[in-house]
Amino acid sequence: MRKEILFKMKSTYRDDFCIEGYWFGSGEKTACIVGPMRGDEVQQQYICSQIVKALQERESSGEIADGKSILVIPSCNPFSMNVGRRFWAMDSTDINRMFPGYDQGETTQRIAAAVFKHIEGFKYGMQLASFYVPGEFVPHVRMLSTGYEDLETARLFGFPYITTRKPLPFDTTLLNYNWQIWNTSSFSIYAGLTDRIAPTTSGQTVDAVMRFLYNTQTLVSPRADELATLSPGFNSAYIDEDSLTAVVAHHAGVYVRRRFAGDFVAPGEVLAHIIHPYNGSVLEEVRSDTGGLIFFSHHRPMVFQNAMLYRIKANGK
Amino acid sequence: MIKTIVSTALPVAERLLIRKNVISNGKGKGRFCIVTGTHGDELEGQMVCYEMARLVQKHIDQLDGTVEIYPALNPLGIDTIQRGVPNFDLDMNRIFPGNEHGTMVEQTAFAIYKDLKGADMVLDIHSSNLYLRESPQVRINVLNEEELVPYAKHLGVDFVWVHDAATVLEATLAHSLNSTGTRCLVVEMGVGQRINHRMCCHLVKGIFNLMKEMGIWNGETDLTDMETGELLEPIFCKGDRVAFLNAECSGVFLTEMRSGKIVDKGQSIGQIVNPLTGEILSDVKSPIDGFLFTIRAYPIVYEGSLMARIFQYNAEETEIVKAVSAAEQ
């Protein structure tokens, strides 16, 4: 493993801002894994640390394929995580809305440009991403439908689901979008949670990344003991996000969940209760119109009226 | 008449309310909308709304049509001094036209868009942010130049900036309205979290002037500057004629420069200093002869922070620039 400072910037009141890269193997820029860009992506931070650890072990046992290199950037934004802010603390801009960046522009544009300069040209790009609505997902790979999305390669993670969605104008500055435009097979990995660490889904995600690296021959010859522990993964199903059924809160109040991301539910089943915050009465029994898998579940304890509480993959869709 | 266009329950005994004041008179069918408060840290529009509501009602007989005033598209943001929408960390001006089946914020954006659609003019008032102080200006996407510039010139602002189309800006309120047949002008002026009375009063005069041009206002309008008494023509900027001054290092940016000033090539705009060592880290100089219309207001900078924008004018524009600069000082 070789550690490299990819970007460094002086701060007047804090330590230097550094983005570090961890290189494994040498040769063709084959796989790049990018960690948190936002300060609350704690699960993503943990997963990156476990990926670096796993790759160190594999490099020691000679499993990095000859002529191939892997880069892991465990964090693009340590400053925000250290002060508990989601976005760049000075001006609340979002590094993941600044790609491909501009090296003569504003601070976060420069950070994005520096990151992109190092990660451009990789064959496969993986970003450990998060969603702006607070909640939990079934772990999956997500891609923007740009015409360059590589669905077949996405199956090599062995995640149960791969989702696609049409990009909005605002999405053209995302890393995923720009990686695709610049000929990298790009995957956003949603590891279930954002602001907390979930051992199960974080472990599944590390396994999926390792599986992908073996399946693309970036890693070779897993050890016998590893073969025994690394499951073959799923035959991934594709989901167009527009096909997911939204379950919306008709009332605001205290939100008590009964069913969670990953659960299968029957039509009409109660998913949650919304409780009056003063008198404890049940304002709403939140029910599913359709039977299927809970793909996303809102998880803050208080909800607004019209908040999206669940997204369900209907049976047969 | 006060109308509520969005009413959404919040978790504990409160509703999110987005309201407008609809003021009508006469037989005119014209509808002029003034919106502001999309970003909760921008307050100049509050005084403009207050003055418009006050003056239109005071001189209601001179109104021939409808004025609608929306002071707070993001009321929770204003109340909590947050630029974005609280609880969502989301810039509301990046999700238009919204989605009636989307998240709560997307539904809110859709309701606002739907309510404004069909107006003869929407004026969307912004005041930069906490970091930058702006001369009064109208910003127009080059795609809407032909349609909007003739209207913008009646507003009495210092600067009309026709900028390039950017995909990311397609999610703004202005783009969503302009691209679907409702004219929307974006005004930027002042600085976040503050109100500049002079700028606000001058814009109010400009709004009445534009309403008069559109046949919605019959009263006298006076677009001369309050202090100089001069009738101003705006500086018109199109194309690659703006120099951006970004900080070459992190530090504290010290400047006494104000926006609206003519600067010479090589003239010092300010200095970036280190308060710990007493060093001057960077002497920030103008790269061109030009008109400085943006200056940094918040002193702490990181490498790349924007400190100033300067418009490079040509010889034929000198007199206009001098007049605007004289009126601003």
pLDDT confidence bin for B11, thresholds 50/70/90: very high
Residues A206 and A250 in one domain: no
- Of B156, B175, B233, B215, the closest CA to residue B27 belongs to B215
Residues A39 and A116 in one domain: yes
Domain finish residue from A215, A241, A267: A241
Query: For chain B, which residues lie within 8 Å of any Cβ of chain A, measuring from their own Cβ?
Result: 8-13, 16, 83-84, 87-90, 94-95, 101-104, 107, 129, 131, 167-171, 244, 246, 249-252, 274-276, 300, 302-306
Residues A33 and A101 in one domain: yes
The pLDDT assigned to A134 comes to 82
Chain B CB within 8 Å of residue A142 CB: no
Which residues in chain A have their CB less than 8 angstroms from residue B300's CB? 12-13, 90
Residue B233 neighbours by CB under 8 Å, 6+ apart = B153, B320, B323
Residues A47 and A191 in one domain: yes
A52: CATH: 3.40.630.10
Residue B153 neighbours by CB under 8 Å, 6+ apart = B160, B233, B234
Rounded to the nearest 5°, which phi and psi values hold at A309?
-95, -40
Whether B11 sits inside 8 A of A107 (CB atoms) is: no
The pLDDT assigned to A229 comes to 64
- Of B285, B283, B282, B290, the closest CA to residue B310 belongs to B290
Can you give the residue ranges of every domain in chain B? 2-223, 240-328
Nearest to B11 among A11, A92, A253 (CB): A253
Return the CATH class of domain B2-223. Answer: alpha beta
Closest chain B residue to A98, measured at CA: B168
Whether A252 sits inside 8 A of B10 (CB atoms) is: yes
Compute the Cα dihedral for B297, B92, B149, B232 and give only its sign.
negative
pLDDT confidence bin for B203, thresholds 50/70/90: very high
Domain count, chain A: 2
Determine if residue A101 is left, alpha or beta; phi over 0 gives left, psi from -120 to 50 gives alpha, anything else beta: left
Which residues form the domain of A97? 2-241
Interface ipTM: 0.88
Rounded to the nearest 5°, which phi and psi values hold at B274?
-105, 115
CATH dotted code for B240-328: 2.40.50.100
Determine if residue B122 is left, alpha or beta; phi over 0 gives left, psi from -120 to 50 gives alpha, anything else beta: beta
Whether B275 sits inside 8 A of A12 (CB atoms) is: yes
* Cβ atoms A166, A241 nearer than 8 A: no
pLDDT reading at A230 higher than 90 = no
Rounded to the nearest 5°, which phi and psi values hold at A283?
-80, -30
pLDDT reading at A222 higher than 90 = no
Which residue in the block uniquely carries the two structure tokens 């280190």?
B274
Residues A49 and A91 in one domain: yes
Nearest to A172 among B16, B84, B167 (CB): B167
Residues A233 and A273 in one domain: no
Mean pLDDT, residues B123-134: 96
The pLDDT assigned to A226 comes to 66
The whole-angstrom separation of Cα B80 and Cα A297 is 27
pLDDT confidence bin for A317, thresholds 50/70/90: low
Residue B28 neighbours by CB under 8 Å, 6+ apart = B63, B64, B65, B66, B215, B216
pLDDT (tens digit per residue) in B111-122: 999 999 999 999
DSSP labels, B86-138? TTTTB-GGGSTT--TTS-HHHHHHHHHHHHHTT-SEEEEEE---SSEEEEEEE
Closest chain B residue to A283, measured at CA: B11
Chain B CB within 8 Å of residue A256 CB: no
pLDDT reading at B51 higher than 90 = yes
The whole-angstrom separation of Cα B234 and Cα B160 is 6
pLDDT confidence bin for B272, thresholds 50/70/90: very high
The pLDDT assigned to B102 comes to 85
The whole-angstrom separation of Cα A301 and Cα B11 is 10
Mean pLDDT, residues A104-118: 97
Residues present in chain A in total: 317
Mean pLDDT, residues B136-154: 96
Give me the helix-helix angle, B44-58 and B197-213, nearest 10°.
50
Residue A257 neighbours by CB under 8 Å, 6+ apart = A271, A272, A297, A299
Mean pLDDT, residues B265-282: 98
Residues A43 and A77 in one domain: yes
Residues A269 and A124 in one domain: no
Q: For residue B144, give the DSSP letter.
A: G
Structure-block tokens of residue A107: 């601070």
Percent of chain B topping pLDDT 70:
98
B280 strand-pairing partners = B273
Rounded to the nearest 5°, which phi and psi values hold at A49?
-65, -35
pLDDT (tens digit per residue) in B149-181: 999 999 999 999 999 878 778 899 999 999 999
Residues A115 and A56 in one domain: yes
* Cβ atoms A292, A314 nearer than 8 A: yes
Count how many pairs of residues, chain A against chain B, have C-beta atoms within 8 Å: 101
Residues A236 and A263 in one domain: no
Domain finish residue from A194, A225, A241: A241
Closest chain A residue to B100, measured at CA: A306
pLDDT confidence bin for A225, thresholds 50/70/90: low
Domain finish residue from A220, A241, A262: A241
- Of B31, B196, B54, B30, the closest CA to residue B125 belongs to B196
Mean pLDDT of all residues in chain A?
94
Residues present in chain B in total: 329
